[in-house]
């Protein structure tokens, strides 16, 4: 078995069992998947399908009860709490449904957050420069001093994406990233993800919206703790094109 395969994420018969008192709940019952570098995967399934548990394992927030998990070729299935934290810091970037930005804290300081916990210590100036550059790359140039309450939902999610990008992660993990956003802003976020993916960053996204899943390259559907469907996306949406269509539609509405 070659551990140094080209996969960004490789799961070997991963299982997760929760014990609630006497009752055992099997949330994930043996999942083996491989997600290559540069893929854009939408992880789907109804609630209780085990997709959140699987996402937590992939995100190194949780350890599998059985099976092995290789992230970027490294076996992370049995690492300690602190080692998992270091792996998350170095290799993963998180984007959440409710953004999880620190309130009353400027966008820049929010973006800097992962750097403060990383092994490489930067000076205040270096931190700021790096954060400003990443913020600019998600289209928030000059908004570094705004606090989350001064930003729209879409802008807040961009700050969160910038925070996920700051440590040059191997994989970006997005948990319902468009769940709290309107349709246009959702497409804008997808545009950022597609752009990042085109640059070679692996994106894994949990969603239950079919149209959002169509922006990914691959859809993995879970049911009862198992993968029930794993398909290449046909007729993939291009976010930039969709946004142009929306603008045109709005213009038409205004004209009428």
Q: Is residue 61 close enough to count as binding other proteins by CB under 8 A? A: yes
Q: Which stretch binds other proteins (CB under 8 A): 17-25, 42-50, 58-66, 194-202?
A: 58-66
Contact residue for other proteins among 50, 59, 177, 225 (CB under 8 A): 59
**d(Cα 38, Cα 40) in Å, to the nearest integer?**
7
Q: Is residue 118 close enough to count as binding other proteins by CB under 8 A? A: yes
β-strand partners of 26: 17
**d(Cα 77, Cα 191) in Å, to the nearest integer?**
33
Contact residue for other proteins among 29, 48, 62, 214 (CB under 8 A): 62
**In this complex, which beta carbon is closest to other proteins, that of residue 34 or of residue 109?**
109
**In this complex, which beta carbon is closest to other proteins, that of residue 109 or of residue 211?**
109
Q: Which stretch binds other proteins (CB under 8 A): 96-104, 188-196, 202-210, 245-253?
A: 96-104
Q: Is residue 104 close enough to count as binding other proteins by CB under 8 A? A: yes
For 200, the enclosing helix (H) or strand (E) is none
β-strand partners of 25: 18
Q: Binding-site residue total for other proteins (CB under 8 A)? A: 28
Q: Is residue 163 close enough to count as binding other proteins by CB under 8 A? A: yes
Chain centroid offset of residue 202 CA: 9
Q: Is residue 25 close enough to count as binding other proteins by CB under 8 A? A: no
Q: Residues 110-116: contacts with CB within 8 Å, 24+ apart?
A: 110/148, 110/159, 110/160, 110/163, 111/135, 111/144, 111/159, 111/162, 111/163, 111/166, 112/166, 113/163, 114/89, 114/163, 114/166, 114/167, 115/166, 115/167
Contact residue for other proteins among 15, 37, 65, 85 (CB under 8 A): 85
**d(Cα 226, Cα 222) in Å, to the nearest integer?**
6
Q: Which stretch binds other proteins (CB under 8 A): 100-108, 183-191, 212-220, 237-245?
A: 100-108
Q: Specify the 3-state DSSP secondary structure of 229.
A: strand
User: For binding to other proteins (CB under 8 A), which residues are involved?
Assistant: 56, 59, 61-62, 81-82, 85-86, 88-90, 94, 96, 100-105, 109, 113-114, 116-119, 121, 163
């Amino acid at each position: 078995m070659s551990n140094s395969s080209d996969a960004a994420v490789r799961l070997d018969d991963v299982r997760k069992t929760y014990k609630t008192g006497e009752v055992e709940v099997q949330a994930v019952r043996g999942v083996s998947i491989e997600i290559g570098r540069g893929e854009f995967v939408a992880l789907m399934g109804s609630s209780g399908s085990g997709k959140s548990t699987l996402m937590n394992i992939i995100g190194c927030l949780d350890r599998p009860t059985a099976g092995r998990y290789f992230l970027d070729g490294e076996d992370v299935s049995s690492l300690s709490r602190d080692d998992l934290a270091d792996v998350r810091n170095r290799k993963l970037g998180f984007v959440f449904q409710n953004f999880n930005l620190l309130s009353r804290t400027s966008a820049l300081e929010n973006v800097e957050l992962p750097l403060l916990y990383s092994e490489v210590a930067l000076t205040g100036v270096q931190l700021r420069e790096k954060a400003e550059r990443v913020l600019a790359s998600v289209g928030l140039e000059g908004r570094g001093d705004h606090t989350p309450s001064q930003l729209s939902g879409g802008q807040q999610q961009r700050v969160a994406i910038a925070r996920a990008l700051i440590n040059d992660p191997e994989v970006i993990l997005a948990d319902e990233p468009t769940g709290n956003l309107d349709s246009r802003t959702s497409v804008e976020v997808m545009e950022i993800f597609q752009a990042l993916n085109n640059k070679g960053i692996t994106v894994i996204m949990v969603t239950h919206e079919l149209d959002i899943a169509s922006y990914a390259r691959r859809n993995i559907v879970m049911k009862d703790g198992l993968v029930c469907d794993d398909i290449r996306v046909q007729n993939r949406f291009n976010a930039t094109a969709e946004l142009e269509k929306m603008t045109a539609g709005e213009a038409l509405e205004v004209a009428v």
